[in-house]
Chains A and B, each alone.
Chain A
Amino acid sequence: MVEACQALKKQDLPPPGGYKPIPFKRIPAKTFFNGYAMFAGYIGITAGAMYLYRLNCKQIKRDEIEMRSAKMAIYPMIIAERDREFLKQIRRNRDEEAKLMADVPGWEVGTYYGEPVYTNIPPDTLVEPIFHEYYAHSSPKEWYRRAHLKLWS
């Protein structure tokens, strides 16, 4: 039995003619540019891009100035219109407050039972009310419309 097994065993040997030589030789990748050329290219491309960026930046600044100029030209008209409407609304608010608080004894319009908000300014000074006071007597819809103007536009 032992002899039969030994007969079947075949030793692992090299192929006839021996193994092929091992390819250990270094094959570097093909170089198109050397280091100096790559640095020069980097600097050249960056310089060109900076030049184009500068041109674009100037154009954008010019356009911004033009738009600002256009807006400033119509600004006085818009402010004039806004001022008139603002003064009308202030008067409406004051009348509304007088009507609303007519039955409350001791109430004076623009004060808290005669105690003014500002004590050391001349009485005929127009203090612009804050947003919530300005819209106090309007409908909530208008309030939301103005408060969330940025979301609507």
Chain B
Amino acid sequence: MVVTMDVKLPEESELTVPEVNISGPTLIAASFHLGKYCEHANNEFMLCRLEENDARKCINEGKAVTACTMEFFRKVKKACFNEFNQYAHCVEKSSGDFSLTHCRKTQGVMDKCMLDKLNIERPAFGYFCEARVHDTKRPKPLEEPKAVYPDATPALPEDVEKKPARFGNRFYWMTE
């Protein structure tokens, strides 16, 4: 494998947190409210992940995302368990790709419960496709400095005398 012993990898105990043990259709059904509830943690994590491009540097942000997701589902279970389950079952059974189109009635019931009890409003249908601006406290990673090669060909000095070409130009009809 390409990973040598010099690469610092986190211990397994550092990486072990309670994971979200929830299947796909349920996540899709919860997605809009979940994304809205955990917006800050999600943005923080995704910014870190894309800026650093290294899984090791965003472990804490990732843990925050998972913790927020767990918290959201606990709240939903306490407040809107039946409404949410009804919607998730509809999403799972109505189509092969968990499309949300077929479940507008149950969605309305769940949205109302979420708004009344948890005060989470369902965002517009394209909310998470929009570009976002996120203000973070994490310092920006340093850009890779420009490579300097010791054996590069030295450039001409700025003030060197530039004589006109002795035999003219190949494209004389264009330049003169």
| A residues neighboring B (CB under 8 Å) | 62-63, 65-77, 79-81, 83-84, 86-88, 90-91, 93-94, 97-98, 108-111, 116-118, 123-127, 129, 133-134, 136
Contacts of B125 on A, CB cut-off 8 Å? 62, 65-66, 69
Q: Provided the pairs A70-B31, A123-B6 are in contact, do residues A77 and B65 lie with their beta carbons within 8 angstroms? A: yes
Query: Please, could you name 14 A-B residue pairs with CB atoms under 8 Å apart, sorted by A?
Result: A65-B129, A69-B126, A74-B27, A79-B62, A80-B62, A81-B19, A83-B49, A84-B15, A84-B17, A90-B3, A90-B9, A91-B10, A108-B5, A134-B1
User: Contact: B127 with A69, CB < 8 Å?
Assistant: yes
Chain B 33-75: CB-based contact to A (< 8 A → 1; otherwise 0): 0111010011001100100001110110111011001000000
Interface size of B in residues (CB-CB distance below 8 Å): 52
Q: Provided the pairs A63-B99, A67-B100 are in contact, do residues A87 and B3 lie with their beta carbons within 8 angstroms? A: no
**In the complex, A52→B56 CA distance in Å?**
51
Q: Provided the pairs A66-B100, A116-B4 are in contact, do residues A94 and B128 lie with their beta carbons within 8 angstroms? A: no
Closest residue of A by beta carbon distance from B28: A70
- Check: B176 CB closer than 8 A to any chain A CB: no
| B residues neighboring A (CB under 8 Å) | 1-12, 15-17, 19-20, 27-28, 30-32, 34-36, 38, 41-42, 45-46, 49, 54-56, 58-59, 61-63, 65-66, 69, 97-101, 125-129
User: Contact: B31 with A71, CB < 8 Å?
Assistant: yes
Contacts of B38 on A, CB cut-off 8 Å? 76-77
- Interface class of chain A by DSSP: helix
What is the minimal beta-carbon distance from B51 to any residue of chain A, in angstroms? Answer: 14
Q: Provided the pairs A127-B3, A136-B1 are in contact, do residues A67 and B99 lie with their beta carbons within 8 angstroms? A: yes
Closest residue of B by beta carbon distance from A77: B69
Contacts of B31 on A, CB cut-off 8 Å? 69-71, 73-74
Which of A70, A73, A75, A84 meets B59, CB within 8 Å?
A84
Closest residue of A by beta carbon distance from B68: A77
**In the complex, A127→B38 CA distance in Å?**
30
